[in-house]
Structure 1
Amino acid sequence: MTSNKLEPHTMQADDVRALRQSAVATVAVGVLGAVVGGVVSGGKGVLGAVIAILVVSLFFVISQIAVMRAARVSPQFMMIAAVGTYTVEILALAVLSSQFKDTTLFSGRVFGVTAIACVLAWSAGQIRAFVTAKTLIVEPSSMHGAAGDS
């Protein structure tokens, strides 16, 4: 009975750890993009990189929250939510990048390159968090059912 109460807490702790690792990686890459953008395009480059960091972080945090909520329903629903939100995020970033292409407020090129780098950094952070998490891949009840069926 106690293990059922601990499982959601452990899952939430893993999710928070994954979110933190991904956010740190994204911000680190974004800051590097801001420095390079500042050298290449001055203040407009820095602004483009900062906007990219904010947009990518916002999109992926919303996605992480949606996936965490979907995980409460079922693993299958979690996967659908993960793929669906990732697809929507990439499409939204593509639309934003095309809209910012001709802006004079900030460097659209630095925005695009930094956004791509931040997406890759976020994804790498998620992969690292998943690989290092000590999460059961096979549910214990499924293992006993499969062994009994043989």
Structure 2
Amino acid sequence: MQSNDARTLLSCAAPTAVAGVVAVAVSAVVAGGKGALGASFGALLGAAVMATGLIVLERTAKYLPQLFQMMGLVLYMTQFLLVAVLLAVFRDTTLFSTKAFGLALLAAVLVWIAAQARAHMKAKILYVQPEAEDERKPEGAKKSAPAGSTS
């Protein structure tokens, strides 16, 4: 993992963790222990899905750059479907508060996306690798005479 990739991952994970702690605290006050459990599970699940997606996308960019854009679209659709399936699976559970779970999951995903957008906007990634002046001229090339002059 490159240093800018690790920085992006950290700058997304930190605000998501803060949002998860806030969601757990609010859910504990509003819905008790089951609310806190549901919120913690939802926040962890949201962060895990988004972190996995970011890591997969970064590896795709490194090894298969020609598939980067398509992989991003497929990845976001897969993340959406995975979260939808998990919401459907845990819809009728009595282990934890499903409302706290869903709201914490939504908050974690939205905070992650906002933090990822901010991290990419602040990243200073060169799109073109600048060349040195001497690398541009082929070896053995002579300076050409100005146009219109005869030698």
Please say whether Structure 1 and Structure 2 have the same fold, judged by a TM-score greater than 0.5.
Answer: yes
Match of 1:62 among 45, 49, 52: 52
C-alpha RMSD of the superposition: 1.7
- The question of 1:78 aligning with 2:68 is answered yes
Q: Which amino acid aligns with 1:69?
A: R
Displacement of 1:60: 1.6
Q: What is residue 15 of structure 1 aligned with on the other side?
A: 5
Q: Which structure 2 residue ranges, 5 or more long, are not aligned?
A: 132-151
Displacement of 1:131: 0.6
Q: Equivalent residue of 1:42, what SS?
A: helix
Q: What is residue 116 of structure 1 aligned with on the other side?
A: 106
Q: 1:95-114 counterparts in 2 under 5 A?
A: 95-114=85-104
**Which one has the bigger helix percentage?**
1
Segments of 4+ moved more than 3 angstroms: 73-76, 137-141
Answer yes or no: is the 8 Å Cα contact 1:34–1:49 preserved in 2: yes
Deviations 1:73-122 (A, max 9, x none): 34441222222112111111111112212111001111111101100111
Q: 1:35-54 counterparts in 2 under 5 A?
A: 35-54=25-44
Q: Equivalent residue of 1:134, what SS?
A: coil
Displacement of 1:52: 1.0
Q: Which amino acid aligns with 2:79?
A: E
Identity over aligned pairs, percent: 39
- Using structure 1 for the length normalisation, give the TM-score: 0.80
Deviations 1:19-73 (A, max 9, x none): 0011011111111111111111101111011111221122122111211111113
Number of corresponding residues: 131
